[in-house]
Structure 1
Amino acid sequence: MRKKLSKNGNASSLKDQLIDIFSSYHPLSEELKTQLIQRLKIQQIKTGQYLAIQEQYCYHFYYLAEGILISTTNRNDKQLTTFILANGSFVTSISGMYGQKPSDESIFAVEDTLVIGLHAQDFHYFYQHHPEMNAIMRRIMERCFQEAHERSKMIRLGTAKEKYLYLLEHISEHINRIPFHHQASYLGIREETLKRIYKEIQLDNDESQTADLFERIDHHLQHTNIIYQPKITLKSFARTMDIPAHQISSIIKNKYKKSFNQLIYTLKIEHVKQKLANISDHKHLTLEGIGTEAGFKSRSVFFSEFKKQTGLSPGEYLKKLHQ
């Protein structure tokens, strides 16, 4: 279950954005927000480093802000990949949740990764003193179980190609950063089979078809209001366009040199910059209101993304623009 978080900005900004994500599940009291700010810990994990190790205890529940994590387990001298997670996911040792028993799996980073963690003791404290945290975690767990059931059904029943297309649909923006052998192990197919399927899909995307699809995608992005929807995702956009998500992701990367989410944020920021350039026509809107109109889900995400792209806060940009 994934919700995006910008990695840019200081620690307080990252924590504020995660609190916004929690708030999207259930309103948080100001007291709980303050305590979360105090107790959330930001951790950087270098490529190859471990977040959890098999047979050891894991005492934290994490939000994956940026990067890719892979979970493996060793059985009878054989390593199996049990899950692959990209930024926007919640993660912990499922078998050893809350540090109650040793973990059955190891979790490590395949690229430099940023996580935000909360200790099991803090969770238990919040459960007892802040009932809203129970509601939030219940909804997060419900979504995680639903997605795990969907994954299990596809991996057990689908053909090799259907399994790979499922993986492409869910993490297409990150697929090229995940080693083939981990993809194959996760899907339960041979690495040679996966490479053959990969080549078949590449051949399917011939140049003429790609050009036609790009024209459709670009027209829809430029001439509809879809980019201003707060909850737009690659998956929802693919359904709207009736184009497979992996094809949209590949075309956008080739044509725009950006991921889908990066492109959407860029278009939103360009819209905001146009509003700020003609601010006299929008005096009824605050800066936060302009961000909301552009489809940003929260003030913190809007301000963080704007500064990432321009080097200035919206207020600083507006002041410089009209000096």
Structure 2
Amino acid sequence: MPGYLKYNCSNKEDINRVLKIMSSVYPVSKELVKEFEMHVQALSIKKDQILFNENEVCEYIYFIKKGALMGCTTHKRQQITTYISIENEFVSSISGLHGLAHSQEYVIAVEDTDLLAIHNNEINRLFLQYFELNYIFRVILEKYYKHAQQRAHIIRVGNAKERYQYFAKTNPGYLDRLPSELIASLLNVKPSTLLGVKKSFTVQEERNKELEMWEEKLRTHMDTHQSFRDKAIRLQSLAQEIGLSSHKLSIVLNNYINKSFIDYINQYRINWIKESLRNPEIVQNFTLEALAYSAGFSSRSAFYNAFKKLVGVSPVEYAKNGCP
């Protein structure tokens, strides 16, 4: 290991943080807790500082308390990022796990990073003594292996957009936190390509937020004013009521709500009728057709067709079955 790395005594609070994560996988015995308290050390490294090099034996297993690390290899003098890890993750040499071989990758700090470390001699001894430690690390390694397999698959078969979507979904927060060139290297795309894809997704997210805002305004207006009960309601008139252009309202309905204007209005009308049918007094004094006209339907046939389309049964069948 590099001689400039200075290991210090760790505090109990930090060790308990590691043990809490381990205990979420399998209960940790009091004896193993004591072992960790005796042998876990603390280490802090600066951004761009190497934790261990290629062709070195990695002597420790690390836990990231704060910060970020990346694993890299070199091919034809080009740096290839193999993984990026942040807080609450374990890191060691993949190719030289447990110090049994020289590492084929090096690990470097992406940010100023605080670590907890336990020497491989100690962890290997504890593996022989404590079943729970073997089980916990097996589960953790399985998780890391699955993520690595998924990442390798998407990089081999996915385009830049699919790789970006995968990374954003599996690593929330990484995209805004970590340098783009590192993520581009990890996903095997050009930095310019990654920035272009990221920009297109940012534009789409902003557009979705705008659509969500207008959908909420539309819903509030419909609930408050019951505009659906107006038999003469049209897309243009409803758009004018809520202060939106007809084109934008059409986009909100078709692209965000995924309903045509008439289906959207009819859904409100039918929901109003269904709610009315739950009131015994209304059922005794009004026919289905009268409720339909009151809800905004202009004809019996339009009411029956819309009800069957959106509910799946006729209004008569619905009423007979107890109006669920």
What is the TM-score with the length of structure 1 in the denominator?
0.60
- The offset of 1:184, in angstroms, is 1.1
Report the Cα distance in structure 1 between the residues aligned to 2:51 and 2:215, rounded to whole angstroms: 43
Q: How many residues align?
A: 207
Change (3 A) 1:31 1:183: same
Change (3 A) 1:88 1:206: same
**1:194 correspondence with 2:194:** yes
**1:152 correspondence with 2:145:** no
Deviant stretches of 4+, over 6 Å:
213-216
- The offset of 1:213, in angstroms, is 7.0
Equivalence for 1:170: 170
User: Per-residue CA shift, 1:216-269, capped at 9, x if unaligned?
Assistant: 9xxxxxxxxxxxxxxxxxxxxxxxxxxxxxxxxxxxxxxxxxxxxxxxxxxxxx
Name structure 1 gaps, 5 residues minimum: 1-9, 217-323
**1:126 correspondence with 2:135:** no
Report the Cα distance in structure 2 between the residues aligned to 1:14 and 1:97, rounded to whole angstroms: 24
Letter aligned with residue 46 of structure 2: K
Change (3 A) 1:122 1:212: same
Report the Cα distance in structure 2 between the residues aligned to 1:151 and 1:192, rounded to whole angstroms: 20
Equivalence for 2:76: 76
CA contact (8 A) 2:64 2:115 kept: yes
Change (3 A) 1:215 1:168: farther
- The offset of 1:31, in angstroms, is 1.1
Report the Cα distance in structure 1 between the residues aligned to 2:125 and 2:196, rounded to whole angstroms: 51
Equivalence for 2:139: 139
1:233-248 mapped onto 2 (5 Å cutoff): none
**Structure with the greater alpha carbon radius of gyration:** 2
What is the TM-score with the length of structure 2 in the denominator?
0.60
CA contact (8 A) 1:86 1:171 kept: no
Report the Cα distance in structure 2 between the residues aligned to 1:211 and 1:45, rounded to whole angstroms: 45
Match of 1:25, SS state, is: coil
Match of 1:111, SS state, is: coil
**Identity across the alignment (%):** 29
Letter aligned with residue 24 of structure 2: S
Compare relative contact order (CA 8 Å, sep 6+) and give the higher one, 1 or 2: 1
Change (3 A) 1:213 1:100: farther
Name structure 2 gaps, 5 residues minimum: 1-9, 217-324
- The offset of 1:208, in angstroms, is 6.6
User: Per-residue CA shift, 1:97-151, capped at 9, x if unaligned?
Assistant: 1222221111111111111111111111111122221111111111111221111
Change (3 A) 1:123 1:201: same
1:1-323 mapped onto 2 (5 Å cutoff): 11-206=11-206, 209=209, 212=212
User: Per-residue CA shift, 1:1-54, capped at 9, x if unaligned?
Assistant: xxxxxxxxx821010111111112222221111111111112111111111211
Equivalence for 2:236: none
Change (3 A) 1:112 1:203: same
CA contact (8 A) 1:60 1:118 kept: yes
Match of 2:79, SS state, is: strand
Report the Cα distance in structure 1 between the residues aligned to 2:107 and 2:215, rounded to whole angstroms: 41
Change (3 A) 1:187 1:19: same
Report the Cα distance in structure 1 between the residues aligned to 2:89 and 2:153, rounded to whole angstroms: 20
CA contact (8 A) 2:98 2:124 kept: no
